[in-house]
Chain A
């Protein structure tokens, strides 16, 4: 079955780049998502990538996908204190017909001024 793993915590200084990593187990036809959860709030979709892509960039966010290693990363450039949140990686294998995402445990990003 699907499994998504993330490290639990990352601390960076304001202005530095943050890189949040995720590994997944599913196969070739997979959508991979990054969600952000601010304190006391629901999840907000940041970006997503399909498994036939290697990279996607959207302003300060860069997603890199290494299909061979089943490794996904989210890079946040020029990290700000407002980026402090929990970041969830999630996946769905479209070939299984499954409708629900499988989430990792979330990475808490702490940005120090």
Chain B
């Protein structure tokens, strides 16, 4: 079974702090994704990576950056957390190629106070 793990289930940070969210997958997937989920808005893509050190902006990249130094690990960084970044963050991975489904981690609920 594919396993995608996220470093924290719940996180509380203060405004202005630098925040790291970590994601690890164990199935040698090329693609990894970070989404945020907000009520009524579904999932919105922040960034994705299709290879080590490669990244592309998604639909809402402002205020975020990412790092992929190893194939299995994809980090989301909030350089200076703000209250409007309070959300559920979901990591996913998939194989490269047509129609490969995405496998999701359990999510990190981040609260910025």
A residues within 8 Å of B by Cβ?
Answer: 4, 8, 31, 33, 35, 40-45, 48, 50, 88, 92, 94, 99-101, 103-106
Contact = CB atoms under 8 A, between A and B. Distances in A.
A48 B57 CA distance: 26
Nearest to B90: A42
Interface stretch (B62-70, B71-79, B96-104): B96-104
Contacts, number: 51
B105 A33 contact: no
A106 B37 CA distance: 10
A40 B50 CA distance: 28
Given A94-B99, A105-B41, 18 more contacts: A8-B40, A35-B104, A40-B107, A41-B107, A42-B90, A42-B104, A43-B90, A43-B104, A44-B104, A45-B102, A45-B103, A50-B99, A94-B98, A99-B94, A99-B96, A100-B33, A103-B42, A105-B42
Interface in B1-53: 4, 31, 33, 35, 40-45, 48, 50
Contact of B50 (A33, A99, A106): A99
Contacts of B107: 40-42
B101 A33 contact: yes
